Amino acid sequence: MAPPLTRPPLPHTQPWHQKRSVRKGAHAALVYALAVPGAILFTIPLLWMLSTALKEPKQIFLFPPEWIPDPLLWGNFVAGWNDFLPFNTFLANSLIITVSNIVGNLISCSLAAFAFARLRARGKNLLFLLVLGTMLLPQEVTVIPQYVLFTRLGWNDSWLPLMVPPWFGWPFFIFLLRQFFMGIPRELDEAARLDGASSGRILWNLILPLSKPALATVVIFGFIGNWNNFLYPLIYIRSMDKQVLAVALNMFRGAYGNANYQYMMAVSLLVLLPVLVVFFLGQRLFVRGIALTGIKG
């Protein structure tokens, strides 16, 4: 009688879920291997600023450099902020201009983006192309025409040249919000109109609540751009009591920075701090808004 047929033993293989976990672990290791050195590289200047801000003048130019000051002079922040220029006044001016411009950008750009994305009108796409075309103009090209216009309006040495333009829209923000709005299903608009909702009500009660990531992106970009704005305040503002932090920091560097590096670094960190706080508080919505804007529309 012939022996029964038997299958040869199969080679030992790992289950599919183990292979997947191994691939995910290798991918995570690669990401961290690339991200950690980059993060350290970009963090070194910030750490050096903090180290210099806490040092005595004689410790700043030592070689090899000392990263940990001894003693830690936290009073440099108070002295740099209060003893040279009226930075409290500059801080209040920057906050007023920045907050006003962010509100203006949110209102004007949301209205324009809603019209481009959700309303029907002849020539709408052509007008949108014209809006995008303004993004191709370098900033330096429009400085002189804007200066002539605002001078004839009598707006020199005031905040009006800095605060009025954001209330009439910003091309990049209009583009960003328009792309996000186009990704929201139109069936929601139709259902709202069947219930008697107007276009304004649809925007306020339907579109904007669903667009928090894109709106957060506008807020963060707007805050950083206005807080760090140097060129236009330098051109239009002459009075010391109307000046902003970005220009004041350059004034401090020119008048006192060469002999007081520790104070200059301390003030620079204090000026930078609000930008870091705003970004870290809104980074999740910011990244989500950028990612969803890129794949919608």
pLDDT at 179 over 50: yes
pLDDT at 57 over 70: yes
Which of 27, 297, 24, 48 lies closest to 184 in space, CA to CA?
297
What is the pTM for the complete model shown?
0.82
Cβ contacts of 99-102, under 8 Å, gap ≥ 24: 100/163, 100/166, 101/162, 101/163, 101/166, 101/222, 101/226, 102/166, 102/218, 102/219, 102/222, 102/223, 102/226
pLDDT at 9 over 60: no
Mean pLDDT of 270-276: 91
Task: Kindly report the average pLDDT of the chain as a whole number.
Answer: 85
User: What residue has token string 């962010």?
Assistant: 102
Q: Extract the tokens encoding 78.
A: 């108070």
Confidence of residue 232 (pLDDT cuts 50, 70, 90): very high
Return the amino acid letter for 123.
Answer: G
SS3 at position 113: helix
pLDDT at 227 (0 to 100): 94
Confidence of residue 69 (pLDDT cuts 50, 70, 90): confident
The full set of domain ranges for the chain reads 106-295
Report the CATH fold assignment for 106-295: MetI-like fold (1.10.3720)
Whether 293 contacts 214, CB under 8 Å: yes
pLDDT at 91 (0 to 100): 95
| Cα–Cα distance, 181 to 210 (Å, whole number) | 9
Confidence of residue 116 (pLDDT cuts 50, 70, 90): very high
Q: Tell me the pLDDT tens digit for each residue of 159-178.
A: 999 999 999 989 999 999 99
pLDDT at 12 (0 to 100): 53
Whether 181 contacts 210, CB under 8 Å: no
Mean pLDDT of 123-151: 90
